Chains A and B, each alone.
Chain A
Amino acid sequence: MIKQLSVFLENNPGRLAQLTRALGDGGINMRALMVADTAEYGVVRILCDEPDRAVAVLEEAGFGVSVSQVIAVEVPDRPGGLADVLESLDAEGLNVEYAYCFVEPKGTAAVDIFRVDDPARAQQALEAIGVQVVSATGLYAPDVASA
């Protein structure tokens, strides 16, 4: 499982830039960023190399941060690859709250991030069908919340 940071932001001009600048100044490297927005506010979800330190950096800079556990899987690079993954979760009755993906610069596979209600069970279900669940060490080196 991977530690994901969620930052609550009001929809104000420049706020996202301030957020990323704070991380940059703190020497935090992001691997993925996804914004869920409503008319008035948004939640910015971040995967980064040192999540624990990133929380401290952001709180110091005045942002509200919460940490949640997500699972990352390498989705096979073929038609129906993602569908297989989702169906196996569905078969287990696991609900996907949201998902987003990015491409590993080294590899050929896409990495999909899932927020599910029971990440431990989801991981089992995925491993049962041979899907590779990426650990935090696999995603980035130090400051690990290992799977």
Chain B
Amino acid sequence: MFQPEYEAMERQRLEGLQLERLKTALIRVYENVPMYRTKYDEAGFDPASLQSLADLASVPFTIKDDMRACYPYGMFAVPMKDIVRLHASSGTTGQVTVVGYTAGDIDRWADLMARTFAAAGAGPEDIVQIAYGYGLFTGGLGAHYGSERLGCSTIPISGGNTKRQVQVMKDFGVTVLAATPSYALLMGETALEMGIDIRDLPLKAGVFGAEPWSENMRLQLEDVLGVKAIDIYGLSEVLGPGVASECENQHGLHVNEDHFIVEIVDPATLQPVPDGETGEVVFTTITKEGIPVIRYRTRDISRIIPGECSCGRTFRRIERISGRTDDMLIIRGVNVFPSQIEQVLTGIPGVAPHYQVVLTKRGSLDHVEVHVEVGADFAFDEIKALERLQKRVKAEIVSALAISIDVKLVEPKSIQRSEGKAKRVVDLRSEGSK
């Protein structure tokens, strides 16, 4: 553990620290950022009135559009003379947003990323290859400073030129790789083409993030690279990498709660949900100076994993991000995420994890039909085997979503593949009843 005095802080003390920092942060944004002042005045919220962490639930949210409206520097809480670094979000979902960091922010960020590398098992004797992109993207420099802070020999190779990456990994005796999971997998494949089996190299750990990945992907990466694959989470609006990361137990990502307050809210009602329940992840930064965000709605879907972790960290864990609220459906009043269906399907032999949800109206009721591809290798000679499969898929989806649905088995490879975002939902509910 890099900073056990914080990472393993007794909960009550930690919450005291959070409250004290939160109070300061609220006053700071109210006094320095017109967007917050206007918003809080309109909502009748007095930042000085906050008495407990529970009171945070009554503070207005911040959303991506607020940041866009403030482009480029409107969200900054300090004058530009105090800003030492600018990054920008990748802009995959719309206009770019700019984030600024003070020297203090950069310093704290390095600590947080050092915690991440330490949690992945790295130490000063390790050689770390940073294959995240360096540039406006926070990944490269964010990881770089953390690796240096921990004392690792840090290779700022950035992304791209995969053959050289593999050669460097081999020649430099790299022990820890930081990259997006998909790029790490490509490195593994490229290495094999070059006649190098990365499993024979000293590489022992991978720090993977910046894109959603699955448990199956983890198994694949650990197999191909011969590493322990650690999931990390962050977003530029909140910090960049270093918001949360897994420990050696690989069971949930510890949120750096001394710097961020995490809440899970119901995306429909926006009310906080109890620990264990799934919803939208909301972050409040309580130490950021350059661009603090209060109750920032990430649109990422996760849940708090209840209970303590045996690693000794007291920070609560969020589960691997399972989807985005942009994909959320409200069916008969129940929130449904297509990713929940995907999760069910990956656990059932005989079906492919390709599916489409077709929504129609039957009378006044929403009707859901999930189209599921029969696996190309399923022995579908017998109708009864198909019927059993259909029943099983239906029962498992119903149990996961808690709404009734119908399942239609469709031909292998008949659901359109997409190179970008898959079209998982066909909503025909506005086209009248069937």
**Bound Cα distance A38, B410 (Å):** 13
Known contacts: A64-B413, A68-B381. The answer to whether A43 contacts B386 by CB under 8 A is yes
Task: Kindly provide the distance from the CB of A46 to the nearest chain B CB, expressed in whole angstroms.
Answer: 11
Known contacts: A40-B408, A41-B386, A64-B376. The answer to whether A115 contacts B381 by CB under 8 A is yes
- Name the B residues within 8 Å of A45 (CB-CB): 381
Q: List 24 A-B contacts (CB under 8 A).
A: A4-B381, A8-B378, A8-B409, A8-B411, A8-B412, A9-B411, A36-B383, A38-B387, A40-B408, A40-B409, A41-B410, A43-B381, A43-B382, A43-B383, A62-B414, A63-B411, A64-B374, A64-B376, A64-B411, A64-B412, A66-B377, A66-B378, A68-B381, A115-B382
Most buried by B among A63, A66, A115: A66
The yes or no answer to B172 lying at the interface (CB within 8 A) is no
**Bound Cα distance A41, B411 (Å):** 9
- Name the A residues within 8 Å of B410 (CB-CB): 10, 41
Of all chain B residues, which has the CB nearest A45?
Answer: B381
Within 8 A of B (CB), among A50-97: 59, 62-64, 66, 68, 97
The yes or no answer to A6 lying at the interface (CB within 8 A) is yes
Within 8 A of B (CB), among A1-55: 4, 6, 8-10, 36, 38, 40-41, 43, 45
Taking a contact as CB atoms under 8 Å apart, the answer to whether A38 and B380 are in contact is no
- Name the B residues within 8 Å of A36 (CB-CB): 383
Taking a contact as CB atoms under 8 Å apart, the answer to whether A10 and B411 are in contact is yes
- Name the B residues within 8 Å of A8 (CB-CB): 374, 378, 380, 386, 409, 411-412
**Bound Cα distance A62, B376 (Å):** 10
Q: Which 4 pairs across A and B sit closest by C-beta, in order of nearness?
A: A64-B412, A6-B381, A68-B381, A8-B380
Taking a contact as CB atoms under 8 Å apart, the answer to whether A66 and B379 are in contact is yes
- Name the A residues within 8 Å of B376 (CB-CB): 59, 64
**Bound Cα distance A93, B372 (Å):** 36
- Name the A residues within 8 Å of B380 (CB-CB): 6, 8, 43, 64, 66
Chain B residues proximal to chain A, CB less than 8 Å:
374, 376-383, 386-387, 408-414
**Bound Cα distance A10, B414 (Å):** 10
Most buried by B among A36, A64, A66, A98: A64
Most buried by B among A40, A62, A68: A40
Of all chain B residues, which has the CB nearest A64?
Answer: B412
- Name the B residues within 8 Å of A115 (CB-CB): 381-382
Task: Kindly provide the distance from the CB of B349 to the nearest chain A CB, expressed in whole angstroms.
Answer: 14
Of all chain B residues, which has the CB nearest A41?
Answer: B409
**Bound Cα distance A43, B384 (Å):** 11
**Bound Cα distance A98, B381 (Å):** 10
**Bound Cα distance A6, B380 (Å):** 7
- Name the B residues within 8 Å of A63 (CB-CB): 411-412
**Bound Cα distance A18, B408 (Å):** 21
Task: Kindly provide the distance from the CB of A68 to the nearest chain B CB, expressed in whole angstroms.
Answer: 4
**Bound Cα distance A53, B409 (Å):** 26
**Bound Cα distance A102, B381 (Å):** 19
- Name the B residues within 8 Å of A40 (CB-CB): 408-409
- Name the B residues within 8 Å of A97 (CB-CB): 382
Cross-chain contact of B379 among A9, A10, A62, A68 (Cβ < 8 A): A68
**Bound Cα distance A90, B408 (Å):** 35
